[in-house]
Structure 1
């Protein structure tokens, strides 16, 4: 494979686990259990009421990310104004649901906003990327989300210079699984779909998009998404190094 398209969240960068850890820690601080599950449920429900929800869904910006995105990208000023009342409401109603101190909702929302800014890579990622570069592969990051948050994650994880091209859905106006986003990467380097592979953890967005664009697809099972039989990947792995076999394809 000549061109490798790589997802960011929960493929290269630990995302789900970090959010769970921070929310569990905050729950312990206020003496409640089940805060991660309740915050996710409330956030997803209230997020769907937002006037920009169709846009967020199209670019793959999640409800949980809305709890810590800065929305500093020009043009997102209205989201920045919307965000703090949303966050406070999420934590207040989540705490009420599990018998916690609802009066501390703003405090917990601010704490999550601050403490969630951690960007650990999965252990195999540095070696995996180095192996690809050593073989002369072209590396492209293909990630859904709002620009300022995805770039904060990218540089926070030390991957700012790791890719020949970075395509963020919120910048280009297209999100995975739209095959046009995948084809942008192909066109940028003059590579045919038979010479490219997409590696990601989300069957519906990463694998489906790759298949629609005619690319090979690698599904990375990180343990918190179920396999989707509607979108069969060419290869299923639990460690990115297992995908290196495709270097010789």
Structure 2
């Protein structure tokens, strides 16, 4: 395989677990249990009410990300104005549901915005990427989300220079699983789908998108997103290094 299309969140970068850990600790400090679940549920519900929700859904920007995105990308000023009332409402309603102190809503929203800025890689990522480079593979990042947040994650994790091409859905206006995003990567290097592989943790976005254009798909099971039988991957792994078996394919 010449061209390796790689997802970022929960494929290379630990994402879900960091949010869970930060909210769990903030909940302990506030004297409530289940803050991660309550915040996630409220954020999703209120996010769907946002006037830009169809755009966010199209580019794969999530409700939890809206709790800590800076929205500093030019053109997203309206989202920046919308964000803080949204965040405070999410935490206030979550605390109300849990019987916690609603007066801490703004404080907790600010704490999550500040403390969520952690960018750990999964342990095998450096060796995985180095092995691909050693074999001459072309590395492309395909990531959904708003530009400023995804680039913050990318550079925060030390991957700013890791890819021959980085395609962020919020920059190009197309999000996985839109087949046009995958074809964009193929065309950029003149590579046919039979010479490419997509590696990602999201069956509905990563695997479905790859299959739609005839690209081999590797599903990375990180333990919090269930397998989707509608989109069968060519290979299922728990450690990215297991995908290196495709280097000779």
State whether TM-score is above 0.5. Answer: yes
1:86-107 superposed Cα distances (whole Å, 9 cap, x missing partner): 0000000000000100001000
Task: Confirm or deny that 1:207 pairs with 2:210.
Answer: no
Question: In the aligned structure 1, how far is the partner of 2:109 from the partner of 2:213?
Answer: 40
Map of 1:81 onto structure 2: 81
How far the C-alpha of 1:12 sits from its partner, in A, is 0.1
Alignment length, in residue pairs?
249
1:112-160 superposed Cα distances (whole Å, 9 cap, x missing partner): 0000000000000000000000000000000000000000000000000
TM-score, normalization by structure 1: 1.00
Question: In the aligned structure 2, how far is the partner of 1:137 from the partner of 1:34?
Answer: 43
Map of 1:136 onto structure 2: 136
Moved over 2 A (4+): none
Map of 2:36 onto structure 1: 36
How far the C-alpha of 1:211 sits from its partner, in A, is 0.2
Task: Confirm or deny that 1:8 pairs with 2:1.
Answer: no
Q: Give the 5 Å matches for 1:107-126.
A: 107-126=107-126
RMSD, aligned α-carbons: 0.2
Question: In the aligned structure 2, how far is the partner of 1:168 from the partner of 1:127?
Answer: 24
Question: In the aligned structure 2, how far is the partner of 1:88 from the partner of 1:29?
Answer: 17
Question: In the aligned structure 1, how far is the partner of 2:30 from the partner of 2:117?
Answer: 21
Secondary structure at the residue paired with 1:113? helix
TM-score, normalization by structure 2: 1.00
Question: In the aligned structure 1, how far is the partner of 2:216 from the partner of 2:202?
Answer: 14
Q: Give the 5 Å matches for 1:51-70.
A: 51-70=51-70
**Gap regions ≥5 residues in structure 1:** none
Question: In the aligned structure 2, how far is the partner of 1:179 from the partner of 1:131?
Answer: 28
